[in-house]
Structure formats: C-alpha cells, structure tokens
Amino acid sequence: MERIVGISVLFLSLLSIIHGLVIQSSWNHLKLKKVAPARVDGRLTGEVLLTCSATGSPAPTIAWYKDDLFVPHLEQHMGEEHPASVGETVASLRLSCLTYEDAGHYECRARACVEEVTAVTEINIVPFHTNLCAETGGPEITMWRPTVMLQEGSTAVLPCRVKSHLKDWQVKWRNSEGVDVAGERFQVQDNGDLVISDLTFSDMGEYTCIASNLRGSQRITTFLYPLASSRPRL
C-alpha cells in the first residue's frame, strides 16, 4: 500500500511539472535543485559526501570538478540527451579516507544543451587523531535520474553509474512489478545505464537499478513518463 501511495505522489508531482508545458526541441531550461554546502570541514581520515542535482530540458548531465579539473573517480560522460526531454539528474561525490590533499574547491557543473549552471563547495581538512578510514568495498551509485520525461518513439537512457574500488560489481534493472527488464527494446549497458528504444506509453513506470557485489548492494529508482509526440500521426 505504501508503495502505491508513493508512486501516486510521484505521478502527481510529474503532472505538476508538465502542467501547461509543451516540450519543444528548441526549448532549453536548466536549474540547480540541490547543492552541497558552500563550505565543509572534513576530519582527517574521515569522509565527505557531496550531492548535487539539477532539473532541465533536455535532461541535464552533471560532472564534478576539483580546482577546475575533472574529478576522474568514474566515467560519468553521458553524451547529449534527446533535445525534447525533461528530467532531473543527481550526481554524488564521496571522498573517503580524507587526506590534506583532498582540500580544495569542488564544483558541480550541470549542463543542458548550451545552458550551464555551477555550484562550488570549499572543503577543508581538520586534524583528527583517530583513524576513521573504513572502506566496505560495496558498490555506490553516483549518478542517476529520479525522473525522466521523454517523447514517445524516442530512445530513453536511464543512467546508473557505479563507483567501486573493485570491478566485481553487476547491475540489474527491474520494472514497476519487480521483474527484470527483458526484450529487444531494453538493453543494459556495460556502464550500468538502461537504454529503452522506441519508447511507448506502456513503458511508463518506476524502474529500479540494483548494483551489487559480494560486499554489499545499493539501489535507486527512476520514474519514466513517456509524452505524446508533437508530430502528427498519418
């Protein structure tokens, strides 16, 4: 019952977003929804988690930079999203076992077509005499989209980017009924993304990405909402 109520609330939220909105290929919009604090003091050997999210059309891409240099903690390049799409993208950056070298300015950069917005967090490392370093080895999902709205007939990309110190993780995607996605139109990429081709209205629903290995697992959900195509049908 709680799951049904949760999906209903999410569906109503989507309707409030698209109410009165006609998505066009020439329409661009980008806005930061959640940003990390302007300053964070991290304990030596401890950890810091930075989270940034943005909404836009087309659905935005997000990358983290430290002192203007890309943070190569994982491959986050997502390519160009379909221009007639609306969505929210979340990207997190976890800094574990902090050292003094981790201090600096961390910038979240969100892009949607030609639009770009940024937010900067200054991280300072403060001394701490107890060793807080603890690496569990479980996979961590660092980029995903909670909501995606895309025209029918398009190709939907639901990202599920995973960070793990070992390469022994695997990703599974399940639909709203808890069944593993299957079929020619559904492809799980090596980087964890789910690609759904020739999108139809029947594809609407909640999709769950589960990343796991022998040391743990993590999951996220994406609600996919196909929109009627603006092109007239013959």
Is 233 within the bounds of a domain? no
The DSSP H or E segment spanning 2 is helix 2-18
| 8 Å CB contact between 63 and 146 | no
- 215 within domain boundaries: yes
Whether residue 186 lies inside any domain: the answer is yes
Number of domains in the chain: 1
Question: Would you write out the chain's pLDDT as a tens digit for each of its 234 residues?
Answer: 544 444 444 444 444 444 434 445 456 789 999 999 999 999 999 999 999 999 999 999 999 999 988 775 444 555 556 667 899 999 999 999 999 999 999 999 999 988 999 999 999 999 999 999 876 778 999 999 999 999 999 999 999 999 877 778 899 999 999 999 999 999 999 999 999 999 999 999 999 999 999 888 999 999 999 998 765 544
The whole domain housing 171 covers 2-227
User: How many Å apart are CA 71 and CA 75, to the nearest integer?
Assistant: 10
Q: In Å, what is the CA distance from 53 to each residue of 18, 84, 107, 149?
A: 19, 20, 12, 16
163 in a domain, yes or no? yes
pTM, 2 dp: 0.81
> Residue 139 sits in a domain of what CATH number?
2.60.40.10
Q: How far apart are CA 87 and CA 72, in angstroms?
A: 25
- 130 lies in a domain? yes
User: Is the residue at 23 inside a domain?
Assistant: yes
Report residue 39 CA to chain centroid gap: 23
